[in-house]
Amino acid sequence: MAKIDIKNISKDELIKELVRMDEKPYRAAQIFRWLYKACPVPERSERYRASVKSFDEMTDLNKELREKLKDKFHITKIVLLDSKRSFSDGATKYLLKLEDSHTIESVFLPEEERSTLCLSSQVGCKFGCSFCASAPFGFVRNLKASEILDEVLFIKAHNKDRTITNIVFMGIGEPLDNYNNVIRAIRILNDEDAFKIGARKITISTCGIIPGMEKLAGEKLQIELSVSLHSADDKIRSKLVPINKRYPLSDLMTACKDYTRQTKRIITFEYILIKGINASEGDAFKLARLLTGLLCKVNVISYNQIRAKGYEPPAIDGVKNFIRTLKSRGINAMLRKSKGEDIDAGCGQLRISRL
């Protein structure tokens, strides 16, 4: 019988398994702490040492239980293939190999007051946004919850002097297209015997998958939702974010309004400015019109150049003018600096250079 991936199950599910094995339910919290809280120094070998890599290291469990756990469960591991650290802001990008040899990227973004992890949710992506480095190689598969948690464990172990405060699902893949596994991972990130990261510190970023947004609104999770908008014009947005043909702006805005009404939470819209495409003053007016009356803020990001994409960022005056125009129309907008520009930190860029 195939072994159960132990990082893929919740604490309640682990309790049920333990009871089936004639063990005490409180052991689940102990095992969770070993899996997610302890983070010994990584070994020098290529293989990453997760918080613990074997049940033998769970030294406060008796030997008999450790043997039973070994028979029933498997602890996944993730391996570092490459990393790049930004000299300008300390952002570090990791290229990681999964157990089936597929690769993903995760980024560590340290700031003075907080440390953010940008996680992948899929191997590749099926949504083909025209500005994105992840798009050209297509979709391979969803990440399991355990693999998402392995990204966190890996970065935590390699940055032991920092406390991870924030998680954003903005790496490779569309998190709402891998809904169940992402939510499963978030619940373990929340768990007090695991990472204990508050839901408000976790952001899901979507290109506008409306059924996923509707489902998320009903979860009663206090997480942040960010929508990649990039244009207030259906024709332009369909070129930049092709899923717009299926979920056009009018439907997307209705879904956003429903989401804010149900959750009472602000939506953040991400808007990447690309010279000659979506960055004019007229584009800003259109955007302001689209968002007026919606509980939201806009993060404006100047395009982070990707070789072979042919897009360019606008001049800084154009960026400032775009934000000024939004603000003059009552839209809460701010410039977000793209971190790690000197290390190709846009999602998928390191993976692409390997592929």
DSSP letter assigned to residue 28:
H
CA distance 67 to 298: 53
**Least distance from ligand SF4 to the Cβ atom of residue 129, Å:** 3
Q: Which one of 118, 129, 207, 347 is the catalytic residue?
A: 347
CA distance 335 to 323: 7
User: 173 or 313, CB closer to ligand SF4?
Assistant: 173
* Main-chain dihedrals φ then ψ at residue 195, nearest 5 degrees: -95, -25
Pairing of strands 202-206, 166-169: parallel
**Least distance from ligand SF4 to the Cβ atom of residue 128, Å:** 6
User: 23 or 270, CB closer to ligand SF4?
Assistant: 270
**Least distance from ligand SF4 to the Cβ atom of residue 159, Å:** 24
N- to C-terminal Cα separation, the chain: 35
- Contacts with ligand SF4 by CB under 6 A: the residue count is 12
**Least distance from ligand SF4 to the Cβ atom of residue 6, Å:** 28
Residue from 119, 129, 256, 290 binding ligand SF4 (CB under 6 A): 129
Residue 105: active-site member: yes
Is residue 346 close enough to count as binding ligand SF4 by CB under 6 A? Answer: no
Contacts with 258 (C-beta within 8 Å, 6 or more apart), sequence order: 214, 217
Residue from 35, 135, 290, 345 binding ligand SF4 (CB under 6 A): 135
Residue from 127, 269, 271, 322 binding ligand SF4 (CB under 6 A): 127
Is residue 345 close enough to count as binding ligand SF4 by CB under 6 A? Answer: no
User: 15 or 207, CB closer to ligand SF4?
Assistant: 207
Amino acid at 19: V
Residue 80: how many CB atoms within 10 A of its CB? 15
The candidate with the shortest Cα–Cα distance to 195, out of 6, 1, 7, is: 7
The candidate with the shortest Cα–Cα distance to 69, out of 9, 113, 138, 151, is: 9
Amino acid at 105: E
Q: Segment near ligand SF4 (CB under 6 A), from 70-78, 122-130, 215-223, 318-326? A: 122-130
Is residue 314 close enough to count as binding ligand SF4 by CB under 6 A? Answer: no
Residue 347: active-site member: yes
User: 65 or 129, CB closer to ligand SF4?
Assistant: 129
Residue from 173, 313, 314, 340 binding ligand SF4 (CB under 6 A): 173
Residue from 132, 164, 287, 296 binding ligand SF4 (CB under 6 A): 132
From the number of C-beta atoms within 10 Å of its C-beta (0-12, 13-18, 19+), residue 334 rates as exposed
Is residue 252 close enough to count as binding ligand SF4 by CB under 6 A? Answer: no
From the number of C-beta atoms within 10 Å of its C-beta (0-12, 13-18, 19+), residue 237 rates as buried
Q: Which one of 23, 39, 105, 192 is the catalytic residue?
A: 105
Residue from 185, 186, 194, 207 binding ligand SF4 (CB under 6 A): 207
DSSP letter assigned to residue 78:
-
Helix (H, G, I), strand (E, B) or coil at 7: helix
Is residue 118 close enough to count as binding ligand SF4 by CB under 6 A? Answer: no
Tokens in use for 332?
């809460």
User: 15 or 300, CB closer to ligand SF4?
Assistant: 300
Kindly report the CA angle at 322 between 259 and 204, in degrees rounded to 5?
Answer: 30
Residue 258: how many CB atoms within 10 A of its CB? 14
Is residue 231 close enough to count as binding ligand SF4 by CB under 6 A? Answer: no
CA distance 46 to 44: 7
Is residue 350 close enough to count as binding ligand SF4 by CB under 6 A? Answer: no
CA distance 232 to 278: 9
Which residues of this chain interact with ligand SF4, rule CB under 6 A? 125, 127-129, 132, 134-135, 172-174, 207, 347
Q: Which residues are catalytic?
A: 105, 347
